[in-house]
Structure 1
């Protein structure tokens, strides 16, 4: 991939890109330190950490119309999601910031006709209006839960709002904004606080900043988005086919749909009764959510609902993706954390269980991120059956083309944003229930209460089209990843390669690996010195930024980005500060790309 300038979207010129370019080691540190030369040049960011500028523009207009000076708005796709945000702020923030909390619900004007392709209930936005002091807590909820509004939904609904079609529920509609005073659109650039909670170093005032050229930017975004649609697909997406698109995605996740599909067909392939290695898996056992973290959050909410009368702690097993642990710690009675996820940790867990301690669920990743180690799912399953807790496995990194973890789990969650999509331009997540699991009926009942279908129709259509060649892409990514591992493992400057095929936990991976399955497209490595690591990273001719699972190779100093405020803590669990994480793509000649970067690393010590 050609060099991408600092702060530009990855992929370039993509209105709803999921990643952003941080092309040098120094720029990653500058990002974490909030240095202006980095943050002032960032046009976008990972959607749960940055609030997309189209969402900020909509929020600014809502405050201008229905709020007052000094307030900011955080947008959600449903009233219940917004209510959870308000409850979180009241629970976590000082009482002094509670007074300004306001929840607004915007709905389609009953006097207006609903667009033919959309149901009126999807055309609603809930806004939490809060002070600048409360905003960092609202931002925490946004980041942890994945409940925030999609940027595509925000763009669409913002247009309705400007035209006076989206109004306060039970209120007389006002004239459209075009007939009111001109309101500039919200900020063009983004800033951020700490890498974990968005509090330390956060300047909340930026969220209400206005720019005179933002309206022009918004029009350009709309034109660019339309152009992308036409170039990528040859025509605009037909959202009237969204129900079939959801079914196609679910069948693809179940492994029963591997070929291209005409969504206009009246009947989709029948679900195989033995899909994913379990009996009686049905389409309605698969739930689609707006992002992978929301799959974990929703599953946790369901488990809290099941154990409402007898609250129990959860277990985070293995080095965690940051927000998974935050969800378990901040929502409900808390969590026991096993940071290494090894046999000794399982021994300790078994000791706790034998002494009568009860848990609601164990959450783990397979493999883990960024060390690519794999928990012993067979032993975990035995303990869960014996002591009555649910097993929730995040298979995002392994993916279901390579491994089958559902027989060991009660729930399998995944971020579809990653390799399932590959194009790095749309978010999504999934929840799969094991119909043979001990918690199946309880989970079905709980999800009937806590699950909301808030996956925006345009995002569904992008995800369905992006995922059509998922299986063939995985095969090529697997091969490329093994090639890179061979290059790195053979080089004297590389001290460690982390990959399921190379790790001590490989037997645990093999127990779940499918016939023909590979070892995945994610790997990490460390070099002898920090100077060598920096030289290697800066010279590497790949895209460089957050996220993983893209069709192009994407590299990041993962520990710097995810754990900058807690590097010593990460190191105590075997995750070195200078570790590099490499998400492998479909390119050719990656061997040469990594060989040249290693040569640069060697030269820096000469």
Structure 2
């Protein structure tokens, strides 16, 4: 997959790709600086940082139709899947001082499927809906903060699906929602055979035909009957089926969710036909005696798993500060700081940091939860979870572990945690074309009953059906891919560690401070994962190495192909000095290892380019 043009999706020509090509060091800097030659070339971007064009297109049309008359040019909309998520965005905007009094001008439009529409039952079962937070253009960056941090925003597939309905006037303001003044709209239902009256006259026949059971025994019977009305009804059914997604195999969505949950639990390890019975939940799934499928929650993306976990803990345990232990993925710390009473940050995640945290506990300080990644991103550090669990039991705080990088094939952290979160977008999917996340409750945890109670009343299943279908399909060979990725990562580490221009290699197997902690939770047949980072002796050498490396280059990780990024530059461009205080080098290069052959030769060639500097 090398030689992908600047701004092209990764994978190329993929409508809902999760990554975008930034093939040179300079293009990464240009992206962060907002330089036109980079920004104008981008067809897509990482979904929580770059609003997908399908989402933007629907947002623009909603503003044009439902924005205050005469003011549409000064308005923008941020889209969410439900009224609840949209109102959380508005509540967040009200807390931000930069919003000022202009936040009073923000309005929400809730759109639902027209109850009088001719949409088939299968489309109705999806409950297609969209809530738009319409705000003055100056406040859009504030709304986008919430979008980025929370992961609550709509998925691009949901937006694409709902946009088709919206264009046909089938997605309309909810009657129970306050409606903004609307401009007169010309209603067009298309050709007569697609208009409501024509369809309503033959709903029963349409439903039967669409499901392969026409009343006269065969679709052709409708035309053989000679009835123009019946012919038009069948054509309407086919039109709606093709236009509104009846080819989604919607009857399998719930089975697909169940299959994903059981893969996460570790009880479904082989490919399976979703029409078949799924394996039962083992009594010892994930090393626990009573883990149930309904203890595993699926959410639209990994960051939403962290956001949902934090919000659930606040409701279950009260308003307490959290601890973010180890240098985190950028939005984890933002969630803990912006959506509650704040957080204590231990950026190095060292034993000395853990000692200092224990001193706080002994002095009587109380905490909501201890959030950590295992291993951490990008330094691959591993906290001592055995000690953390002991402290949590003694001093009454929840332990939340993000296992995205380690994966449950390589490590089993659930016995040490109250909640385990993960981004399924990464190696669980592998194909880099769908988002997803999960959170798993430890049924033996001291907060289980309180957390379950909150989730039972508050949790919304916002994982869009099309995304579910893609995720289930992609994850079928998850375990075998992990084994290959583990091997390839170790091979690359050996190449890098042997070269004099490479200053440091960060990988759990070779991190002196973390290997013991990793091995304490490593599964019997697990490896050390598919993510590693390195630094070279000079910036110039790092640039030459990155530019010459013959892999895909862009944001994200956990892809079936090797994906490289100057991670710190991209994630912390405006706070590089701050990151450096925690031992995170601004020139660090992060490598997400894929399934390719001959990766040793690929990295050796890039090192030769660095030698020439």
Scaled by the length of structure 1, the TM-score of the pair is 0.89
Moved more, 44-53 or 441-450: 441-450
Offset, 1:127: 0.5
Name 2:254's counterpart in structure 1.
243
Q: 1:563 aligns with which of 551, 572, 575?
A: 572
Q: Which runs of 5+ in 1 are unaligned?
A: 180-225, 230-234
Secondary structure at 1:454 match in 2: coil
| Aligned with residue 74 of structure 1, among 74, 78, 99 | 78
Q: 1:442-496 deviations in whole A, cap 9, x for unaligned? A: 1101112331100000000000000000000000000000000000000010010
Pair 1:288-2:292 in alignment: no
Shift of 1:261: 1.0
In structure 2, relative to structure 1, the CA distance for the partners of 1:177 and 1:594 (3 Å cut) is: farther
**Does residue 253 of the first structure (1) align with residue 269 of the second (2)?**
no
Contact 1:22 1:545 in 2 (8 A): yes
Q: Which secondary structure state, in structure 1, belongs to the residue aligned with residue 611 of structure 2?
A: helix
Q: 1:177 offset after TM fit, Å?
A: 6.8
**CA distance in structure 2 between the aligned counterparts of 1:398 and 1:461, rounded to whole angstroms:** 24
* Aligned twin of 1:539: 548
Q: Secondary structure at the match of 2:370?
A: strand
Residue 391 of structure 1: CA displacement?
0.3
Q: Conserved in 2, the CA contact under 8 Å of 1:406 and 1:434? A: yes
- Partner SS, residue 293 of structure 1: helix
1:527 equivalent to 2:536? Answer yes
The equivalent residue for 1:151 is 156
Using the size of structure 2 for normalisation, the TM-score is 0.88
State which of 494, 504, 507 in structure 2 corresponds to 1:496. 504
Contact 2:322 2:343 in 1 (8 A): yes
- For residues 219-266 of structure 1, the C-alpha deviation after alignment (integer angstroms, 9 at most, x for no partner) is xxxxxxx9xx9xxxxx9541221000000000000000011111122x
1:322 to 330, 335, 339: 330
1:211 counterpart residue number: none
- Paired residue secondary structure (1:359): coil
Report if aligned partners of 1:118, 1:240 keep a CA contact under 8 Å in 2: no
Q: State the partner residue of 1:431.
A: 439
Which residue is 1:268 aligned to? 278
Instruction: Tell me by how many angstroms 1:114 deviates.
Output: 4.4
Deviation of residue 112 (structure 1)? 1.7
Matches for 1:400-411 after TM superposition, within 5 Å: 400-411=408-419
Is it true that 1:369 corresponds to 2:380 in the alignment?
no
| CA drift at 1:96 | 2.6
Residue 120 (structure 1) shift: 4.7
| 8 A contact 1:123–1:157 mirrored in 2 | yes
Three-state SS of the structure 1 residue aligned to 2:408 is: coil
The Cα offsets for residues 395-430 of structure 1, whole Å up to 9 and x where unpaired, read as 000000000000000000000000000000000000
Is contact 1:6–1:21 with CA below 8 Å preserved after alignment? yes
Name the CA distance, whole Å, in 1 between partners of 2:271 and 2:604. 37
**1:446-485 pair list within 5 angstroms:** 446-485=454-493
- CA displacement 1:254-305 (0-9 Å, x = unmatched): 000011111122x321001110011100000000000000000000010111
In the alignment, what sits opposite 1:128? 133
Partner of 1:38: 38
1:70-116 deviation line (CA, Å, top 9, x unaligned) = 11010000111000000011110332321220011001111124433
> Distance in 1 between the 2:598 and 2:423 partners?
28
Say which SS state the counterpart of residue 287 (structure 1) adopts.
strand
1:582 aligned to which of 568, 591, 608: 591
SS of residue matched to 1:570: helix
Structure 1 range deviating more: 267-276 or 281-290 = 267-276
1:59 aligns with 2:59: yes
1:303 and 2:310 are equivalent in the alignment: no
Root-mean-square deviation over aligned CA pairs: 1.6
Q: Tell whether 2:88 aligns with 1:84.
A: yes
1:44-65 Cα distance to aligned partner (Å, 9 max, x none): 0000001000000000000000
Residue 293 of structure 1 contacts residue 324 of structure 1 at CA under 8 Å; is this kept in 2? yes
Aligned to 1:98: 103
- The structure-2 alpha-carbon separation of the partners of 1:460 and 1:272, relative to structure 1 and needing over 3 Å to count, comes to same
Secondary structure at 2:504 match in 1: strand
Q: Which residue of 1 aligns with 2:214?
A: none
Aligned with 1:400: secondary structure? helix
- 1:91–1:517 distance in 2 versus 1, CA, 3 Å: same
Q: Is the 8 A contact 1:164 1:175 kept in 2?
A: no
Which runs of 4 or more aligned residues in structure 1 lie more than 6 Å from their structure 2 counterparts after TM superposition?
none
Distance 2:105 2:374 in 1: 43
**For residue 166 of structure 1, what is the aligned residue in structure 2?**
171
| 2:367 alignment counterpart | 359
1:493-517 CA distances to partner (integer Å, 9 max, x unpaired)? 0010000000021000000100110
Give unmatched runs, 5+ long, in structure 2. 191-241
Give the Cα separation in 2 of the matches to 1:161 and 1:130. 20
User: In the alignment, is the contact (CA less than 8 A) between 1:298 and 1:450 conserved in 2?
Assistant: no
